[in-house]
């Protein structure tokens, strides 16, 4: 179903979201931060359904960064349990709705019970093709580039490739988002105008939409506003558009 006000051919095919503002949402209501995170999960489910309803095939969300380990241990523990509970209790519904789940990030920092939940979710939904939901968990853009560089260096050392053959395509192929195309649109909630170490390579030509709405309050109408804003941009990719 098209979005009102968006001309044909102007819909993004890959949307990335920095889901910011859970803590502030809770603080404004004099609630523990955990309440904001729970409400944030509901907002994520709404965003996935929006993509499904409007033909957006890829949604990539920033759920837990490599820097988030610096938060209080009680909050980190809660986020781990919330993720585990969500993708245990919600996975059947997501599967029925044709959502493919993929976790991008380093997994070696987590206990086996958490990685088992991830593996099960990915295995169950691997053949779904309605919406691909990339969940960036224990993810950092700089770390991703380091890992990609190491992979190419190892191939060069093994004689699989020549160092001089390394180019943008070969580095892109080593990124955690592969084989997805780069995001067309990045949405950042809660008013912050920075990318916070998210998809640093992939966002080179991505259109950015910043909204003051806190993530737990992010609604279909807010998503529509971002899509309409995106549809009005002239995406030049370094070129000069013909007049």
Q: Which domains does the chain show, CATH number per domain?
A: 14-145+182-231 (3.40.1180.10)
Q: Tell me what pLDDT residue 236 has.
A: 74
Q: Tell me what pLDDT residue 240 has.
A: 63
Q: Catalytic one among 4, 22, 53, 68?
A: 68
pTM here?
Answer: 0.94
Contact 211, 41 (CB under 8 A): no
- Of 82, 29, 40, the C-alpha closest to 216 is 40
Q: Tell me what pLDDT residue 1 has.
A: 74
Q: Tell me what pLDDT residue 3 has.
A: 85
Q: Tell me what pLDDT residue 243 has.
A: 53
129 is catalytic: no
20 is catalytic: yes
User: Using one digit for the tens of pLDDT, what is the confidence trace for 30-43?
Assistant: 999 999 999 999 99
Tens-digit pLDDT profile for the chain (243 aa)?
Answer: 778 888 888 999 999 999 999 999 999 999 999 999 999 999 999 999 999 999 999 999 999 999 999 999 999 999 999 999 999 999 999 999 999 999 999 988 888 999 999 999 999 999 999 999 999 999 999 999 999 999 999 999 999 999 999 999 999 999 999 999 999 999 999 999 999 999 999 999 999 999 999 999 999 999 999 999 999 998 777 666 665
């Amino acid at each position: 179903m098209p979005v009102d006000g968006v001309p044909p051919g102007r819909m993004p095919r890959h949307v990335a979201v920095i889901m910011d503002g859970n803590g502030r949402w809770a603080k404004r209501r004099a609630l523990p931060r955990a309440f904001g995170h729970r409400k944030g999960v509901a907002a994520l489910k709404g965003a996935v359904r929006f993509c499904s309803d409007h033909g957006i095939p890829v949604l990539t969300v920033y759920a837990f960064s490599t820097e988030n380990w610096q938060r209080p241990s009680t909050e980190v523990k809660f986020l781990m349990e919330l993720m585990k509970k969500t993708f245990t209790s919600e996975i059947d519904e997501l599967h029925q709705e044709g959502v493919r789940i993929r976790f991008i990030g380093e997994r070696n920092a987590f206990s086996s019970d958490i990685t088992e939940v991830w593996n099960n979710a990915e295995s169950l939904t691997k053949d779904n093709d309605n919406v691909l939901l990339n969940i960036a968990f224990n993810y950092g853009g700089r770390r991703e580039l380091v890992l990609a560089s190491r992979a190419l260096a190892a191939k060069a050392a093994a004689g699989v490739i020549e160092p001089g053959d390394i180019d943008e395509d070969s580095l892109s192929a080593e990124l955690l988002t592969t084989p997805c195309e780069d995001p067309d649109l990045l949405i950042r909630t809660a008013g912050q105008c920075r990318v916070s170490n998210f998809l640093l390579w992939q966002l080179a030509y991505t259109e950015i939409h910043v909204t003051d709405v806190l993530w737990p309050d992010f609604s279909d109408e807010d998503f529509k506003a971002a899509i309409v804003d995106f549809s009005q941009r002239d995406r030049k990719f370094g070129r000069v558009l013909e007049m």
